Structure 1
Amino acid sequence: PEYIAKSFYPSDLFRQTGLQAVGSRPRRIKPAKKSKGREPQETLTTELFVLGPKDAFRSWERSLPAWVSGTHLAEDMVTIEEIAAPTARDKIKGPLPKSKDAVFEVVLHTDQLFGETEALPAFQKYVRSLGIDQKFDKRFYAGGLCFLELEAPVALADEIATFTIVRALREMPRLRILRPAFRTSGVPSQSLTLPTKPALDPSIKTAIFDGGLPATHPLGPWSTAIDGPHVGASHPELLKHGLQVTSALLFGPLDPTKPVPVPYSNVDHYRVLDMTPGQNPHELYEVLERIDTVLNNTDYDFVNLSLGPSLSIEDDDVHAWTAVLDERFSQADTLATIAVGNNGEGDAAMGFNRIQVPADCVNALAIGAADSPDTPWQRAAYSAVGPGRSPGLVKPDFVEFGGSMQRPFLVVAEGGVSKLDPTGGTSFAAPSTLRLGTGIRAHFGHNLNLLAVRTLLVHSIEASEIPHNEVGWGRLARNIDDIVLCEDDMIRVIYQGKISPAKYIRAMVPMPDSELSGMVEITATLCYKCNTDPHHPGNYTRAGLQATFRPHDEKFKKDDQVHPNTKSFFGDPGLGAGEDELRRDAWKWENCLHASRRLNAKSLSRPSFDIHYNARLEGRSFSPAEQLPYALAVTVRARKIADLYDQIVRKYATVLEPIRPVVDIPVRT
């Protein structure tokens, strides 16, 4: 456990022994000894999976007595606490079904090249020797893992798991049942008048993957129904859910006392479900394949997923849905929202109330539900809770109104006449969030990339004293004007660009020329997208940005110091992480950081953030050739300076570029 930083990776040991590290996972152990004579305690470490011929392991064992202290090999050897071969039972996840036959999800340690040429043919030959003859048509590769579907007798599970490169075997999870989180009664169906205008920005490409749209509905002017690849017959319950999700994305929660807003964008609704979830054991991979095919062939600006496996996330394994979608979203300028699930009232001790796959995607926003759009508010009881996996601890990212028994989420009902339909669930909080994202893009156009849009959504949240594992960073801003407008005593700036590995970028925090007084509040949000290593869940993100805050450009601790003193800004967001988490550099590899600090005005002089790009690959040091896209939002508020905005705009007239709206959007007055 004392040697888990990427600088301690035992590269020389693996090179000398002829072994290859093919994966890892977090594991808690109590080491035999601890340095400096301290008492050993249970703590978090990294368990490595290594692969090689049997002769390599035997040769390693024979050569050990000849190793000399002080050599690289000996130094690598002392970083290892324990060596053991995984058993079949170690690989089997969860209880096995009681039926005679079952559909399993098998995870193999292999990438696509080795998998297609050697690993899969060998595994296929092995399972055939057990009497199982399958073509492995449904399979996905992500990072160094292959996820495949296997129908087999339950009695053979141990023998299947015995195959060397099997990392995990579980009964294939079922899809979440797409029904409201609660049932409403006694709510009259009110008629409403939908807008007659087209979407504010028809050029925005938005997609929903859900249950489809019914034959008769009033959302035709702004929505296009598309059948996903190889989808079967539709189902009435799924069509109703799909319509409700589409209504939430186009209009948000409807208010019968106010006019229905004009949608910011049109939407393509892909029907990827063809029967009631949970009835077909093969549907999980079928649905993922339909989604992946669309994302691989069509570029979308915004994507919403209000579906996924009925499976809470695990710390030591990444599911196929998360691995595949994270890889897709890391490679495209797409903003995706994912519902965290309605299992928030599940058994907390067993982790059954934790966010559901794929809400643990680090390259997408995981959205939970609040019980009210007004104040006061709290997490809706049904909304799944965090934390997420580390990295990716702050999940959900934030919450949005999703409805409650007292205040249902109102959507457009099916049929030829426009009426209200009450519902509720994280399924509607997620598209309602995406709607606000499309509004920012419609307002500013391509002046802001979609990573900056994501950053603004997090940056503008309504903070709360509710624990982060329940509501993430807080609740989504109520209106678009809360995001795009600045009051007279504040200013908000956006930095967006790319940074090279091991390089620094200095982002100045704008300040006026006049002398400040009183307290100044600085809020900052830093987001980036990155490639992932699903076969190394404890080292899942390949990139880390460290933002060092320097509040005063004239304060130095030492005479020969090059850069001004630093002050803590981003840190533990209060998720109860222990010392072992901090030692693992957990916050260095989080791809979304957000914090607010109140500082005495006298302590500030040309403050700045120095942003440094660290990279790793499979948990070890790495220097990629490509640059990393990032976005940083900074808001400064000084309540004693009534014209702070004007002063800063004048001062930085040749430095900061005002982001001008490209379309007019009605804002609150």
Structure 2
Amino acid sequence: MSKDKNENYLPILGNGERLIDSVSKKFVGGPATYPRTFEEAKTRVINQLKTVQKQIEAIPEENKMSEVILALRLNEKFLAKTYTPETFFKKTGFENIGSRRWIYDENKNTGKTNYSKLHFIKTDQENLLNLRDSLETGLISLTESFKNDVRKIEELSLLKTEEVIQGFGDEWTEGSVEFVLHPFEENNDTMLEKFKKRLLYFGVQEESLKIKSYDGGPTFVSALVKREVVDKIADFNPLRTVHPLKLEFFPQFRGEDGSEQGILPPIGKSISQIKVGVFDGGIESEHPFLKNFSKENQSIGSIALPEGIKHGTAVAGVVLYGDLNQYEKGEQLEDPVVFVESFRVLPVKNPRDLDLYEAIDFIENVVPSRHDIDVYNLSFGPVGPILDDEISRFTYALDMLAWNYQKLFVVAVGNDGQRPEPFNRIQAPADLVNGLGVGAYTYHSQNGSIERASYSCVGGGREGCKVKPDLCAFGGDSKYPMHLLNATNQNGVWLNAGTSFAAPIVSSKAAEILGRCNQFTPIVARALLIHAADNPNRVDNELGYGIINQKVEDILNCDTNKVTIIYSNSMNPTGLAKLPIPLPLNASIGTDVHLSWTIATSSKANALHVEDYTESAIEDTFYPHDKKYNFSKPGEKSYKLNIIDDASLIDELLNDGYSRSSLPVSGSAHQYQTELARRGEMKWDTVVKKWRNSRISTLENPFLVLHGMGRNGSTDRIDYAVIVTISVPRYEGNLYEAILNEYRVLEPIGIRNRNEIMINID
């Protein structure tokens, strides 16, 4: 929006990264407590080794390699990455090739579930024999570090059949499945040939097999199999897991053709330079509402289906115009501010191939080559809830594309929200950690309040992005259906509902944010949308961080007493950064201050370590007052004192042996806690959103400290965006001007107006 059109428009403030300063901080951890002595642990591990050695000998040669995969399960006290038994692995020659969550005690009566971590290790019989000899004879000197690692071990065993087979209901008899195989480096081809041979032996048709290996990652194999094949192949030792794949090509409800649209297509004098990629079932490119504002690109090598064209046309129409019901009868629409680049990826060539591997291959080829598209919409995916202990190829592929090419994928979460728990949980690939999973909201049939559409799948998400859906947009229902472009009746509307049509609303806004603000990245756009989302419960499993129903101009706007600042930067793992929150000291604020902040990062994903899926993250700590510090002395009372007001007392304490904390007293903030979040403290999530309401007397030069974290050997720099909003609802002055006057490095962001993003085509 140009300043000429609205003098009162106050763009959000940029250049927050210019305020960032370095900082040092001490990290103090308490000593670990072990569940048993070394002698007790040693005896336990020796007995387990004897059992597992016999089990390995009993595995038929056709079901194993020279090296075997074992499960090393840790005691529940050692979940954190810092407790990985690295000394044990190094001493024994065991190769740690992955990890997942381990449910070791589930009490259905109390509803309590105990979790720990399972490491997949690759070794051979010789290494197992050497370890056993070392423990039994004690002839080899064992370090304290090694002994402590042994004390962490709860169980050393083969993976159990029920841990391999996941997500199959009793009614499942035949269908497409996805096998996930452990990496075997230079022996990967040999392992795959062995696996294929077993499948063929069990009657699987070779033409149904599709295989995708990732460097440094797992191998995914899809196949059409019967239930007995799943049961028979489960003891193939390099097999990590198998889960069913079911696809509804064009997921939506049984819609109906509505009446005449009553609105007129845009004149088409100009087209937007802002593009949204749409992977779907194709579009009716000659539709008058699409003709000048979309392009059908190369497609998968199959014949288009009418229902696919209908679905893709409706999705493209939502990207361009939103819900058509918002327009007045007889209204001629403006040329849309985004442009649709359509890629038909459905249906796949073989109608029996219900695994989407062809579509994923196609997406992996398109995205790196299209430098002009930053946002992609996906309103399709396999049916069925995500599994915490495994990742699907589709999710992993999108996360890696987002990481490698700095793209934003917006994915519908699925329409099984009315199914019983856990089958109502979000569906892949909406569980991606570097993108947005979008659910649908509608209106209560009696009071008109906003609520989750009953069909919209619920959270939580997986480790790395526990809040899902990320956002919800209007998706309609039977009482309040969406009015969509109709490919089969171009003069009428198609009445329908679904998360398929909520996702493109968010895709369009994300692309417009990037197109209107040249300096923004997809991470900034993701952070802004989540920060702008509104949920009366702040965050929950139904609406996620909340609904998006604002225009882009509103998202990018401030008020005189509510100001938003953007910080966009990068840091190294283990790095520290101090982000001042620009609360002006000279503004004479006398009322409560409401602070909120959202942090978004992009992380390399690791499909081998599902429990540690994100390899990097940022931990934040809030400090409300830069003059208040902790003063402590072992065995004595501690004090929280102001270094200016309490200077005399501080001198006495320091002379008496007290020490001052390296940073001021930290403050707590409101944040969302799911069962998964309580277990992992959201520490490794790519998005965090928090709130803090404070009396002005408790705030002076408040700031955040960001701590970069890397794991699984990651040394990659961490790109991040932080959005901070300062709100003083009862402030009678102009907070916006006060911040700009006191923090002169901040500037209103430059927002391109409509004329700057449109190209005339006369």
Q: How has the CA–CA distance of structure 1 residues 90 and 547 changed in structure 2, closer, same or farther, with 3 Å as cutoff?
A: closer
CA deviation string 1:488-521 (max 9, x = no partner):
1121110001111111111111122222211111
Instruction: State the SS of the aligned residue for 1:506.
Output: strand
Greater RCO (Cα-Cα under 8 Å, separation 6 or more): 2
> 1:646, CA displacement in angstroms?
0.9
Task: From 85, 108, 115, give the equivalent of 1:44.
Answer: 115
The CA distance in 2 between the partners of 1:468 and 1:259, in whole Å, is 39
> 1:134, CA displacement in angstroms?
3.9
Task: From 674, 683, 697, give the equivalent of 1:575.
Answer: 674
Q: TM-score, normalised by structure 2?
A: 0.78
> 1:256, CA displacement in angstroms?
3.0
The CA distance in 1 between the partners of 2:501 and 2:430, in whole Å, is 14
> 1:555, CA displacement in angstroms?
1.0
Instruction: State the SS of the aligned residue for 2:133.
Output: helix
Query: Does 1:190 find its partner at 2:261?
Result: yes
Match of 1:616 in 2: 711
RMSD of aligned Cα (Å): 2.8
Which runs of structure 2 are paired with 1:467-506 in the superposition (5 Å)? 468-506=540-578
Instruction: State the SS of the aligned residue for 1:371.
Output: strand
> 1:585, CA displacement in angstroms?
3.6
Match of 1:34 in 2: none
Query: Does 1:247 find its partner at 2:320?
Result: no
Q: 2:682 corresponds to which letter in structure 1?
A: W
Which runs of structure 2 are paired with 1:178-327 in the superposition (5 Å)? 178-181=250-253, 183-184=255-256, 187-197=258-268, 201-202=272-273, 204-214=274-284, 216-218=286-288, 219-229=290-300, 231-254=301-324, 255-257=326-328, 260-274=333-347, 280-299=352-371, 300-327=373-400
Match of 2:665 in 1: 565
Equivalent pair of 1:142/1:323 in contact (CA under 8 Å): no
The alignment-based identity, stated in percent, is 27
Equivalent pair of 2:438/2:469 in contact (CA under 8 Å): yes
Q: How has the CA–CA distance of structure 1 residues 665 and 180 changed in structure 2, closer, same or farther, with 3 Å as cutoff?
A: farther
Q: 1:479 corresponds to which letter in structure 2?
A: K
> 1:183, CA displacement in angstroms?
3.7
Equivalent pair of 1:199/1:265 in contact (CA under 8 Å): no
Task: From 509, 516, 528, give the equivalent of 1:456.
Answer: 528
CA deviation string 1:229-274 (max 9, x = no partner):
3x21111111100000000111111213265353222111111112
The CA distance in 2 between the partners of 1:390 and 1:137, in whole Å, is 28
The CA distance in 1 between the partners of 2:136 and 2:269, in whole Å, is 77
Q: How has the CA–CA distance of structure 1 residues 102 and 309 changed in structure 2, closer, same or farther, with 3 Å as cutoff?
A: closer
Query: Does 1:437 find its partner at 2:515?
Result: no
The CA distance in 1 between the partners of 2:340 and 2:381, in whole Å, is 20
Match of 1:38 in 2: none
The CA distance in 1 between the partners of 2:157 and 2:614, in whole Å, is 27
Which runs of structure 2 are paired with 1:508-657 in the superposition (5 Å)? 508-512=580-584, 513-558=586-631, 560-569=660-669, 571=671, 573-577=672-676, 582=678, 584-617=679-712, 622=713, 624=715, 626-639=716-729, 640-653=731-744, 655-657=745-747
Q: How has the CA–CA distance of structure 1 residues 665 and 478 changed in structure 2, closer, same or farther, with 3 Å as cutoff?
A: farther
The CA distance in 1 between the partners of 2:348 and 2:95, in whole Å, is 43
Instruction: State the SS of the aligned residue for 1:286.
Output: helix
Query: Does 1:23 find its partner at 2:135?
Result: no
Q: How has the CA–CA distance of structure 1 residues 131 and 490 changed in structure 2, closer, same or farther, with 3 Å as cutoff?
A: closer
Q: How has the CA–CA distance of structure 1 residues 336 and 16 changed in structure 2, closer, same or farther, with 3 Å as cutoff?
A: same
Q: 1:343 corresponds to which letter in structure 2?
A: D
Q: Which moved more, 1:372-381 or 1:52-61?
A: 372-381
Instruction: State the SS of the aligned residue for 1:387.
Output: coil
Match of 1:358 in 2: 429
Q: TM-score, normalised by structure 1?
A: 0.89
Equivalent pair of 1:175/1:283 in contact (CA under 8 Å): yes
Instruction: State the SS of the aligned residue for 1:267.
Output: strand
Match of 1:36 in 2: none
Larger radius of gyration: 2
The CA distance in 1 between the partners of 2:368 and 2:170, in whole Å, is 34
Q: How many residues end up aligned between the 2 structures?
A: 637
Equivalent pair of 1:460/1:477 in contact (CA under 8 Å): no
Task: From 441, 457, 460, give the equivalent of 1:384.
Answer: 457
Equivalent pair of 1:316/1:537 in contact (CA under 8 Å): yes
Equivalent pair of 2:260/2:491 in contact (CA under 8 Å): no
> 1:563, CA displacement in angstroms?
1.9
Q: How has the CA–CA distance of structure 1 residues 563 and 477 changed in structure 2, closer, same or farther, with 3 Å as cutoff?
A: farther
Instruction: State the SS of the aligned residue for 2:516.
Output: helix
> 1:139, CA displacement in angstroms?
2.0
The CA distance in 2 between the partners of 1:320 and 1:447, in whole Å, is 32
Task: From 741, 744, 753, give the equivalent of 1:663.
Answer: 753
> 1:154, CA displacement in angstroms?
4.8
Q: Which moved more, 1:596-605 or 1:293-302?
A: 293-302
Q: 1:147 corresponds to which letter in structure 2?
A: F
The CA distance in 2 between the partners of 1:533 and 1:89, in whole Å, is 23
Q: How has the CA–CA distance of structure 1 residues 566 and 336 changed in structure 2, closer, same or farther, with 3 Å as cutoff?
A: same
Instruction: State the SS of the aligned residue for 2:541.
Output: helix
The CA distance in 1 between the partners of 2:703 and 2:538, in whole Å, is 30
Q: 2:431 corresponds to which letter in structure 1?
A: D
The CA distance in 1 between the partners of 2:271 and 2:532, in whole Å, is 22
> 1:656, CA displacement in angstroms?
1.2
Equivalent pair of 1:550/1:609 in contact (CA under 8 Å): yes
Q: Which moved more, 1:520-529 or 1:58-67?
A: 58-67
The CA distance in 2 between the partners of 1:403 and 1:130, in whole Å, is 46
> 1:275, CA displacement in angstroms?
6.6
The CA distance in 2 between the partners of 1:405 and 1:154, in whole Å, is 37
Which runs of structure 2 are paired with 1:323-362 in the superposition (5 Å)? 323-348=396-421, 351-362=422-433
Equivalent pair of 2:99/2:610 in contact (CA under 8 Å): yes
